[in-house]
Structure 1
Amino acid sequence: MNPFDIIVWGGLFVYFLFKLVRSVRIIPPRVAAIVERLGKYHKTLLSGFHVLIPFIDKVTYIQDLKEEAMTVPPQDCFTHDNVKVEVDGVIYMMVTDPMLASYGVTDFRQATVQLAQTTIRSVMGTLDLDRTFEEREMINQKIVSVLSEVGQTWGIRVLRYEIKNIVPPVSVKNAMERQMTAERERRAQIARSEGDMQSNINNSEGLMTELVNRSEGEKQRRINEAEGRAKEIEALANATAQAIESVAAAVREPGGNQAMALRLTESYLNKLSGVARKDATVIIPSDLTRLDEQLAALGLKSSANKES
């Protein structure tokens, strides 16, 4: 056998040995291998030890079944009010059907990113610039909904989508900063005015409470004074009534009229003697010599008449 034949047969042996070794496959966890037999899909190999038929079976695709994150590159979008913004994001997805992921689309990763970008542009075109920052969650859910519709055909499952950045132009950013500054100043002025208003209300309520308390105190003081005067008058009246009753009882006793006449005469003469106050008013009878007749007109007799 010439050297050329040896080299040819040696090469064929090495190739056969290589194919034999390649027919033995150990698949790690969360990985799937697509096997074709004579150019046609045969089966899907999951984790474990597998032996294939050399030269007939061939592993054409290996799909990772773990969840993976794919970056959506930044792209320019126009909002509903014609403002150009730059938007990027992250897609979290996983392969659920290795066979569909291999044969349903040429490159499911690129197709998913392209579909996410077109969906972002369409959604951003329906929102004004101010709402794009507020409706992040709605945008994320819309993109996940659209990707989930095609995910069944591509053998994938889109778990979630997150917008990373929404970058407006520099001029718009400066205008937004001025707007936010004006808004903060407006809120500060409103807060100060509300504070002044509440302070005035508190002061007026405090003054009103003070006036009410003072009026209530003055009212109670006057009531107490009136009740005191009433009790004093009542006491004087009771004392006067008791004194009158005592006098009346004394007059009804034998010799009571004479004693009363004598007492009144003495009191009257004392008034006339000048011991009364200077500002007192004294009524002097026109005829002092007829004092007995005047007392008799009152139903009283002097002690002189009694003795005679």
Structure 2
Amino acid sequence: MSEIPYGPIIIGIIVLFVVLLLLSSIRIVRQSEVYLVERLGKFHRKLESGIHIVVPFIERVASKKTLRETVVDFPPQSMITKDNVSIQVDSVVFYQVTDVVRHEYEIANPLSAISNLTATTLRNLIGELDLDETLTSRDTVNNKLRAILDQATDKWGMKVNRVEIRNIIPPIDIQNAMERQMQAERTRREKVLNAQGEKESKILKAEGEKQSQILEAEGQRLSQIERARGDKESQVLRAEGEAEAIIKLAEAKARGEQVVLDVWRAASPTKEMVQLRSMEALEKVANGTASKLVIPTDATKLLGMVESVKEVMRSDKTEQ
């Protein structure tokens, strides 16, 4: 039988063991994280983000710390206010590790320590306030609590950035009384707002009516002004028309008289003809509707002349 070659097998096993040992000694640290390495049980160094080698069997990674801000939500705690009202308060703490070495070796359980410290500090702060002040002074309580926690956790390599009281829960009977009070306050505010709205509505309505009357009066005034202006312009136009008519009538009369004068001049009328024409005109006037007739003295002479003419005409007929 041929012998099994154990030499190469043993060498392969040794090489595989060395490779696995080297791979296990490589540590990749993520950003915002820090590894704490102990050598033979004692803190030796910190591994920050990147690739690192840990010596097998001599060094080990004792802890992994994150440098990011951490949020811790604590359950409700029973507390008593200054006016002896039992309430339930829950809070939220935002903290960040600033010194990973002290955070690892100065405190065994940092979260439990922060929880207990928060509850104790809150009891002290709320015990100095009555229920109404507790409900309305959250910002003040938050600031005082953050300052106390930040000072206490500094030696643990931690920094408390913010503390928020999330809920304050009073007993059920006080909640009912507060609900009734808030309902009454809402009703009162609703009435006040309705009254204020009605008041403003009346004011706006009166103002609108006043403005409407002002605009109406202004419109009437402008209308009267425009009407007076139109009447004035109408009268001016009428007067101008009448004046123009009088002028044209006078011009026509003057032209007529000129024509008559020209005709008479052309015909060379005698005195007797003129008197005869006057008599014809007088006859037309006498045929009018007037009850009285005023005759000039020249006309009476003319009448006498007419009678003489009539006598002569009668004598001629007798002779014939």
Higher helix share: 2
Q: Per-residue CA shift, 1:242-279, capped at 9, x if unaligned?
A: 788877xx89x99xxxx9xx99xx7xx85x65xxxxxx
Aligned equivalents of 1:229, 1:169: Cα separation in 2: 87
Change (3 A) 1:28 1:153: farther
- Write the mapping of 1:80-99 to structure 2, written as runs, cut at 5 A: 82-99=84-101
Provide the secondary structure at the position in 2 that maps to 1:51. Answer: coil
Q: Is the 8 A contact 1:34 1:98 kept in 2?
A: no
Root mean square deviation, CA, Å: 4.6
Decide which of 65, 76, 79 is 2:78's aligned counterpart: 76
Number of the residue aligned with 2:54: 50
Alignment of 1:150 with 2:145, yes or no, is no
The residue type paired with residue 304 of structure 1 is A
Partner of 1:62: 63
User: How many angstroms apart in 1 are the aligned matches of 2:242 and 2:36?
Assistant: 128
Answering whether residue 35 of structure 2 is matched by residue 32 of structure 1, we say yes
Q: Which amino acid aligns with 1:171?
A: D
Displacement of 1:235 in angstroms is 4.9
Q: Select 1:221's aligned residue among 220, 223, 229.
A: 223
Separation of aligned partners in 1, 2:297 and 2:144: 128
Q: Separation in 2 of the partners of 1:26 and 1:92?
A: 33
Shift of 1:87: 0.8
Cα distance in 2, alignment partners of residues 101 and 164 from structure 1: 27
Instruction: Tell me the distance in 1 between the aligned counterparts of 2:212 and 2:179.
Output: 49
Which has more radius of gyration?
A: 2
SS of residue paired to 1:180 = helix
Which letter maps to 2:65? D
Q: Which moved more, 1:139-148 or 1:122-131?
A: 122-131
Paired AA for residue 99 in structure 1: V
Distance in 1 (alpha carbons) for counterparts of 2:297 and 2:129: 123
Look up the match of 2:163: 161
CA offsets 1:2-39 (integer angstroms, 9 cap, x no match): xxxxxxxxxxxxxxxxxxx9xx877674353463758x
Matched residue type, 2:170: P
Q: 1:306 to 1:62 in 2, by over 3 A?
A: farther
Identity, % of aligned pairs? 30
Q: How many residues align?
A: 250
Q: Is the CA contact 1:75–1:88 (under 8 Å) kept in the aligned structure 2?
A: yes
Aligned to 1:174: 176
- Residues 233 and 52 (structure 1 numbering): CA distance in 2 closer, same or farther, change over 3 Å? closer
Structure 2 CA distance for partners of 1:37 and 1:219, relative to 1, 3 Å: same
Relative distance call for 1:243 and 1:145 in structure 2 (3 A) is same
Within 5 Å, give how 1:182-201 maps onto structure 2. Answer: 182-201=184-203
**Which consecutive unaligned segments of at least 5 residues does structure 1 have?**
1-20, 274-287, 293-300
For the structure 1 residues 142 and 303, does the alpha-carbon distance in structure 2 shift closer, same or farther, using more than 3 Å as the test? Answer: farther
TM-score when normalising by structure 1: 0.59
Deviations, residues 87-135 of structure 1 (Å, cap 9, x unaligned) = 1123233433233124434533322222222332344345554454455
Task: Sort the Cα spacing of 1:216 and 1:31 in 2 relative to 1 into closer, same or farther, 3 A.
Answer: closer
Contact 1:79 1:128 in 2 (8 A): yes
After superposition, the Cα gap between the structure-2 partners of 1:244 and 1:306, relative to the gap in structure 1 and judged at 3 Å, is farther
Deviation at 1:178, TM superposition (A): 1.4
* Alignment TM-score, normalising by the size of structure 2: 0.57
Matching residue's letter, 2:224: R
Contact 1:70–1:92 (CA under 8 A) maintained in structure 2: yes
Deviation for aligned residue 1:167: 0.7
Alpha-carbon separation, structure 2, partners of 1:302 and 1:44: 160
Query: In 1, are the aligned partners of 2:25 and 2:54 still within 8 Å (CA)?
Result: yes
Paired letter, 1:87: V
One-letter amino acid matched to 1:217 = G
Task: Describe the shift of the 1:122–1:100 C-alpha distance in structure 2 as closer, same or farther (beyond 3 A).
Answer: same
